[in-house]
């Protein structure tokens, strides 16, 4: 579709976070114009045959357009375990609750639950997810059918998958079009043999592709790795050449100075997950030190089993609030920097170079923020308001790849919320019944 947004305030996330007033034009799945509307004739001068016939013209009514949030670490299909196994330590939560239930999932379950999670992403202004889960072809199918952008990362471990499977996933998932992509990864050091990790490192070198994994989430994990290999997870991965083509880690709470230097020198990304880490008592990541070192930081929700929400507004607030508490300094981790993490930083980590900012030529992954609600007023600082006062209720519209998938509480994803909610409840009820 060709859509013209006018009477808009626009936060492009390019350079200084200045907000302009004007128009944004979408042709197909790309942005073709962002500006004050006084120079739109240049589009037709550059492309005389490209006269745009608008399918829709949207009066934004001075609400705010900005790039969509990037959920840079998630397990989408885990919505079925939301509030199922709460208030447990990480190792008990994983081994006695999560892993046994995940073993009962069918491919069709994961397809359905991925669509269920995508609804929540859209209502939170999230336009792309960095998903680590099983049945990758079913996840891609669900994302493509709903119109959502999904980057997948390998989840191989000692309990499932082979290195050969990962290579096939890489080839297949990167062949499905702009809504599907894949990078190499594995679950974590403590669940994955050295042989498998070295195999993933070899694939990364062969295809020159980044590698991501859960890393340094708990102090117990780091100490266990030191006992097994005599070094931290980050140092171990680096010694294998795992990071020669970029990548990074999820969580990264218990990082040594040497670990952070590796991330800085290899230009790796940290994906912080504050809500999950707080709820599981894993700790608070050293975000201030990471920022001071120039490390790219992205934000993820983790799965709904450990968070329990797929809500980028809550994550943004916790990133800065917990960092201030950790350092006992209210001046650290400025809200504007957190908004960059949730958008541009996530796009960089996820290799979505065409989805980072609002600019001509970029994919049209756009969120409209409702500025009329009380929590967005008065407008002393709109950027800070989004981080410190914003909520999912402020998301008026979410567009992915040029399609409006969510608007004013309604979804256009090919299936109704009622149907998806019913299917998700049926899946977990079947599991509970069958495990008795």
SS3 (DSSP) at 82? coil
- The pair phi, psi for residue 353, each rounded to 5°, is -65, -20
Superfamily of domain 2-67+355-411: Urease, subunit C, domain 1 (2.30.40.10)
pLDDT value for 94: 81
SS3 (DSSP) at 367? strand
Q: Cβ atoms within 10 A of the Cβ of 210, count?
A: 22
Label residue 48 by pLDDT band (50, 70, 90).
low
Helix or strand holding residue 26 (H, E): strand 19-27
Give the separation between CA 310 and CA 82, rounded to whole angstroms: 10
Q: Return the residue matching tokens 């999904």.
A: 150
Torsion 264-317-345-201 (CA) sign: positive
pLDDT at 400 over 80: yes
Which has more confidence, 39 or 378? 378
pLDDT value for 49: 67
Helix or strand holding residue 101 (H, E): helix 99-102
pLDDT value for 96: 87
Strands 19-27 and 2-11: antiparallel
pLDDT tens-place string over residues 69-94 = 999 999 999 999 999 888 888 788 88
pLDDT at 188 over 80: yes
Q: Which tokens sit at 394?
A: 């402020």
Label residue 52 by pLDDT band (50, 70, 90).
confident
Residue pair 126/118 in contact (Cβ under 8 Å)? The answer is no
Torsion 267-268-274-280 (CA) sign: negative
pLDDT tens-place string over residues 217-262 = 999 999 999 999 999 999 999 999 999 999 999 999 999 999 999 9
Q: Cβ atoms within 10 A of the Cβ of 321, count?
A: 18
One DSSP character per residue, 265-333 reads HTT-EEEE-HHHHHHTT-----HHHHHHTT-EEEE----TTTS----HHHHHHHHHHHHHHHHT-TTSS
Which has more confidence, 103 or 20? 20
Label residue 167 by pLDDT band (50, 70, 90).
very high
Q: Which residues contact 58 (CB under 8 A, 6 or more apart)?
A: 3, 4, 5, 6
Which among 29, 17, 74, 20 is positioned nearest to 340, based on CA atoms? 17
pLDDT at 50 over 80: no
pLDDT at 347 over 80: yes
pLDDT tens-place string over residues 172-182 = 999 999 999 99
Give the separation between CA 272 and CA 69, rounded to whole angstroms: 14
Give the separation between CA 407 and CA 1, rounded to whole angstroms: 16
**Domain regions of the chain by residue span:** 2-67+355-411
Chain mean pLDDT for the chain: 96
Give the separation between CA 136 and CA 353, rounded to whole angstroms: 22
């Amino acid at each position: 579709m060709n859509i013209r947004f006018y009477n808009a305030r626009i936060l492009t996330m390019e350079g200084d976070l200045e907000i302009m007033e004007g128009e944004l034009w979408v042709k197909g799945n790309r942005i073709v114009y962002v500006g004050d509307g006084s120079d739109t004739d240049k589009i037709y001068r550059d492309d005389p045959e490209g006269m745009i016939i608008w399918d829709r013209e949207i009066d934004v009514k001075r609400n705010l357009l900005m790039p969509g949030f990037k959920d840079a670490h998630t397990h989408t299909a885990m919505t079925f375990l939301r509030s199922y196994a709460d208030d447990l330590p990480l190792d008990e939560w994983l081994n006695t609750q999560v892993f046994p239930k995940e073993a009962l999932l069918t491919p069709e379950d994961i397809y359905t639950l991925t669509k269920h999670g995508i609804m929540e992403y859209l209502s939170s202004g999230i336009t792309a997810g960095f998903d680590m889960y099983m049945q990758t072809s079913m996840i891609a199918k669900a994302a493509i059918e709903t119109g959502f952008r999904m980057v997948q990362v390998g989840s191989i471990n000692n309990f499932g998958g082979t290195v050969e499977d990962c290579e096939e996933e890489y080839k297949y998932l990167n062949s499905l079009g702009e809504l599907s992509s894949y990078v190499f990864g594995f679950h974590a050091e403590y669940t994955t043999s050295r042989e498998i990790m070295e195999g993933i490192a070899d694939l990364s070198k062969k295809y020159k592709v980044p590698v991501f994994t859960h890393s340094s989430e708990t102090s117990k994990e780091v100490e266990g790795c030191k006992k097994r290999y005599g070094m931290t997870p980050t140092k171990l991965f680096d010694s294998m050449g795992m990071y020669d083509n970029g990548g990074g880690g999820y969580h990264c709470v218990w990082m040594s100075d040497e670990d952070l230097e590796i991330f800085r020198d290899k230009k790796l990304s940290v994906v912080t997950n504050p809500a999950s880490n707080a709820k599981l008592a894993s700790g608070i990541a050293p975000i201030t030190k990471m920022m001071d070192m120039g490390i790219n930081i992205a934000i993820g929700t983790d799965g709904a089993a450990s968070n329990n929400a797929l809500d980028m507004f809550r994550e943004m607030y916790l990133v800065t609030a917990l960092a201030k508490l950790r350092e006992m300094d209210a001046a650290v981790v400025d809200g504007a920097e957190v908004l960059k993490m949730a958008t541009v930083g996530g796009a960089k980590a996820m290799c979505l170079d065409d989805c980072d900012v609002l600019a001509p030529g970029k994919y049209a992954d756009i969120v409209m923020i409702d500025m009329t609600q009380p929590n967005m007023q008065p407008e002393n600082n709109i950027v800070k308001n989004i981080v410190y006062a914003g909520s999912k209720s402020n998301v008026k519209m979410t567009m992915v790849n040029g399609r409006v998938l969510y608007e004013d509480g309604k979804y256009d994803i090919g299936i109704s919320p009622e149907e998806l909610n019913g299917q998700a409840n049926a899946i977990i009820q079947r599991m509970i019944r069958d495990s008795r």
